[in-house]
């Protein structure tokens, strides 16, 4: 029984991924989005972050830094922001396969087959994860290419952890999208939800703007959201190499004590080191919070599937349960 269920799961997951890839409009939209964001960041915001970096260092008596260090830090910080948003918002685009199956009636044919309805639900979720991860990896490849041009300071461990965090954030986003969309009843509502999440998530996870830029009340709300800590973890591994090289350069200009203080100020100002509710958040704590959120969302997802199947009612989203 378990072997058959696994075969059904693999077959449906492959089918759902193929449907997503064949839908050129959805695939190209998902693929182009991170590329457009990279271009917009580099064109309009890079100078802003360069000036902010120089302003912070200027408070410690630093007059200039090499362009390679400036580009290395700015590029890694920008890419950490883009990846933190991309891994989550693209999962809402990936859920379009659920809508297309419902509108075309394909879901009825699938449910008529002797396949567990929980397996059907899980296959939709897995396909969403894989589709999002595919686009995210392509965006990450573009980001690494841009960083290599601007100034490469990433170690092998940094690259590995960035990839693993990309997978973890994709799981987080896929579960979040599945839970939210389970309460939506029309394609219009799903589209509207996707637009709202895409527009707001970058702000509420601290990716587009440093959290210190917001008021205390808004900042405290942001500190309560798990996505914020995923952004911090990504920034740590993206920026740690550039910061280490920058500190070595500053040691010769302002001394080791002042350079350490300057780097600590940079980390706090650019949300590489969060201070939530007057407590510094360690890297391990940030990753643990994100991991706990993934586990919690999965349990909520499983409960939604279980109770809807138990009640035998038609759900509002066939990605989570059967249609009765």
Range from 9-18, 73-82, 91-100, 228-237 carrying the lowest mean pLDDT: 91-100
Rounded CA-CA distance 123/304 in Å is: 15
Asked whether the predicted pLDDT for residue 314 surpasses 60, the reply is no
Domains of the chain, by residue range, sit at 2-311
Per-residue model confidence as pLDDT tens digits over 236-290: 999 999 999 999 999 888 888 899 999 999 999 899 999 998 899 999 999 999 9
Q: What integer is the mean pLDDT of 309-316?
A: 55
What one-character-per-residue DSSP string does 290-314 give?
HHHHHHHHHHHHHHHHHHHHHHTPP
Which H/E stretch holds residue 87? helix 67-94
**Cα–Cα distance for residue pair 108/285, rounded to 1 Å:** 44
């Amino acid at each position: 029984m378990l072997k058959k269920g696994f075969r059904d799961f693999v077959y449906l997951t492959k089918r759902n991924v193929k449907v997503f890839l064949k839908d050129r409009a959805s695939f190209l939209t998902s693929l182009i989005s991170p590329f457009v964001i990279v271009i917009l960041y580099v064109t309009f915001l890079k100078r802003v972050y360069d000036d902010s970096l120089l302003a912070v260092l200027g408070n410690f008596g630093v007059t200039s830094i090499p362009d390679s260090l400036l580009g290395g830090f700015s590029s890694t910080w920008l890419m950490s922001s883009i990846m933190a948003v991309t891994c989550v918002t693209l999962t809402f685009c990936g859920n379009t396969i659920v809508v297309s199956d419902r509108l075309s009636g394909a879901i009825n044919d699938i449910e008529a087959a002797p396949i567990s309805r929980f397996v059907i639900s899980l296959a939709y979720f897995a396909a969403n994860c894989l589709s999002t991860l595919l686009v995210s990896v392509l965006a990450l490849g573009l980001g690494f290419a841009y960083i290599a041009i601007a100034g490469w300071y990433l170690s092998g461990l940094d690259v590995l952890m960035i990839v693993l965090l990309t997978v973890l954030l994709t799981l987080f986003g896929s579960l979040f999208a599945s839970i939210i969309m389970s309460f939506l009843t029309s394609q219009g509502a799903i589209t509207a939800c996707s637009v709202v999440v895409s527009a707001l998530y970058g702000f509420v996870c601290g990716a587009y703007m440093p959290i210190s830029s917001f008021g205390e009340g808004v900042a405290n709300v942001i500190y309560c959201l798990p996505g914020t800590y995923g952004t911090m973890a990504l920034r740590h591994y993206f920026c740690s190499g550039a910061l280490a090289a920058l500190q070595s350069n500053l040691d010769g200009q302002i001394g080791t004590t002042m350079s350490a203080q300057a780097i600590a100020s940079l980390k706090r100002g650019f949300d590489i080191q969060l201070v939530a509710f007057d407590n510094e958040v360690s890297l391990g704590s940030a990753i643990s919070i994100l991991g706990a959120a993934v586990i919690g969302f999965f349990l909520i997802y499983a409960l939604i599937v279980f109770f809807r199947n138990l009640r035998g009612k038609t759900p509002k989203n066939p990605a989570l349960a059967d249609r009765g």
